[in-house]
Amino acid sequence: MLNALTALTRGTRLVYSRGLRRYVFLPILVNLLVYGAMLGYVVGNFGGWLDGWMAMVPEWLSWLSWLIWPLFVVSLVLIVFFTFTLVTHLIAAPFYGFLAARVEVEVTGRPPLDDRGLTKTAVDAMGRELVKLAYILPRMALLFVLSWIPVLNLIAPLLWAAFTAWIMAITYLDYPMDNNRVSFRDMRQRLGARRWPTLTYGGWVTLITWLPLANLFLLPGAVAAAVLMWDRHYRGLETAIPPQAR
């Protein structure tokens, strides 16, 4: 059985093989430019954001500042990470969708079911990213509010970690599924039905994204790994969604 780590290792080797590496460097350049711009903004404002959060701690909890401060730091870092991820994937989605299609041909010997053509695929990929945002942002906002509530915010980092793994799985595994005409709702059903490989894959991708600069070169491998995971774990999976609702 193909596991998440094996898929990521094989996927990274695959995208830098002779037939595929030409599809990798444009999304790397896009991500590098976005990361550079956002990193400069965050470095200049991080201290002020943290001071603002700490100023909102009630006086009666001041004796717990030694614990609340690192929890706020972790929560703020996770929120910044989420923002980075959402922006970069929104921009890079058309490139990653096309890369996933090329990897599927390389791995399976047949193209994905999608026959929309390059231009329409790129446009639809942006629309699919907006669907993801509509799913992610309300849940992200709820966790953000929880991070401000005294006592409850003690578990916020754990919730952010689990949520991040789930969202990373949705983000990357959706590329091959979208290419194969799997609706967003159906995709989430399939991921939920294979929760362990889904969350382990999302967890490993999360760890990759935390590697400065190296992540720019490893994330295309996560796209290829998503194709491998799709082909092994999710392609033939039946869900409870009626065909007319997909």
Residue 10 has pLDDT above 90, yes or no: yes
Write down the pLDDT at residue 231.
Answer: 92
Write down the pLDDT at residue 118.
Answer: 55
Residue 48 has pLDDT above 70, yes or no: yes
Q: Which of 223, 234, 245 is nearest to 7 (CA)?
A: 223
Q: Retrieve residue 17's tokens.
A: 């093989």
Q: How many angstroms separate the CA atoms of 103 and 100, rounded?
A: 5
Q: Sorting pLDDT into bands at 50, 70 and 90, what band is 53?
A: low
Name residue 18's amino acid.
R
Write down the pLDDT at residue 82.
Answer: 66
Domain boundary assignment for the chain: 4-236
Write down the pLDDT at residue 209.
Answer: 81
Q: How many angstroms separate the CA atoms of 17 and 189, rounded?
A: 33
Write down the pLDDT at residue 243.
Answer: 45
Q: Sorting pLDDT into bands at 50, 70 and 90, what band is 30?
A: confident
Name residue 241's amino acid.
I
CB-CB contact of 37 with 84 (8 Å): no
Write down the pLDDT at residue 242.
Answer: 47
Residue 216 has pLDDT above 60, yes or no: yes
CB-CB contact of 238 with 182 (8 Å): no
Name residue 195's amino acid.
R
Stated pTM of the model = 0.75
Q: How many angstroms separate the CA atoms of 72 and 74, rounded?
A: 5
Q: Pseudo-torsion of CA 77, 79, 83, 86, nearest 10°?
A: 120
pLDDT, tens digit, 9 for 90 and up, residues 198-215: 999 999 998 888 777 777
Q: What mean pLDDT, rounded, does the chain reach? A: 79
- SS3 of residue 45 by DSSP: helix
Q: Which of 245, 235, 243, 124 is nearest to 176 (CA)?
A: 235
Q: How many angstroms separate the CA atoms of 97 and 179, rounded?
A: 7
CB-CB contact of 84 with 31 (8 Å): no
CB-CB contact of 74 with 157 (8 Å): yes
> What average pLDDT score do residues 12-35 get?
81
Q: How many angstroms separate the CA atoms of 173 and 187, rounded?
A: 8
Write down the pLDDT at residue 54.
Answer: 64
pLDDT, tens digit, 9 for 90 and up, residues 147-198: 777 767 677 778 888 898 999 999 999 999 988 989 999 999 999 999 999 9
For 74, 93, 153, 162, the CA distances from 49, given in Å and listed in that order, are: 13, 30, 17, 24
**Helices 184-193, 156-179: crossing angle, 10 deg rounding:** 120
Write down the pLDDT at residue 121.
Answer: 60
Residue 97 has pLDDT above 80, yes or no: yes
- SS3 of residue 111 by DSSP: coil
Write down the pLDDT at residue 76.
Answer: 66
Q: Which of 68, 203, 205, 80 is nearest to 140 (CA)?
A: 80
